[in-house]
Amino acid sequence: MGQLIILRHGETEWSRAGRHTGRTDLPLTARGEEQARALRGPLAGRRIIRTVCSPAERARRTAELAGLTVDEVDPDLWEWDYGGYEGITTAAIQEGRPGWFLWDDGVVPGDVEHPGESVEHVGERVDRVLARVGPDLDGGDVVLVAHGHVLRVLTARWLGLEPRLGRLFALDTGSLSTLDTEHGRPTIASWNEPAC
């Protein structure tokens, strides 16, 4: 059985600044491109049979620089829609909502392009991704290239945890993690390994 390899895209200007970047499509920084190229080494020699990517340019560019051929672009791998908090840092949100924590308090509605979504909705999206790629793991490794929060929720769901427990899995830009099974039960084989 193969492993589910999850790659968080390389750094962008907003990720470096700690701004919530859901559906705003930003390019990688020079550092982000360096991180993405560095992923080639850890991926070399793996039996990758399928690569599925978020529609975001930052994810697709990460896959390309990592030497992957994207087999499918999956809208269910878009980052959490932060609604009215799109582009805003946690510190700035907490000025108006002291103690605000994304995983507990959620988001407020935004404009038409950023209506916002609950962590439960993100969980439903990643459940669909896992259902679609799960059977492929019998033939080899599957790579998912996406974003920090959506991949954290996906990891929680892989482990059979509720979506909001994705808060337990910090995930840096340009990192590689592997999800696996042991005796038929889901596990984490490696986590948040930096590309460079």
Q: Which residues are catalytic, by number?
A: 9, 79
Q: Which two tokens stand for residue 47?
A: 């039996």
**CA pair distance 148, 65, nearest whole angstrom:** 18
**Other residues' Cβ atoms within 10 Å of the Cβ of residue 154:** 27
The phi, psi pair for 195, rounded to 5°, reads -75, -35
Cβ burial, residue 32 (10 Å; 0-12/13-18/19+) = buried
The phi, psi pair for 152, rounded to 5°, reads -70, -40
| SS3 state of residue 9 | coil
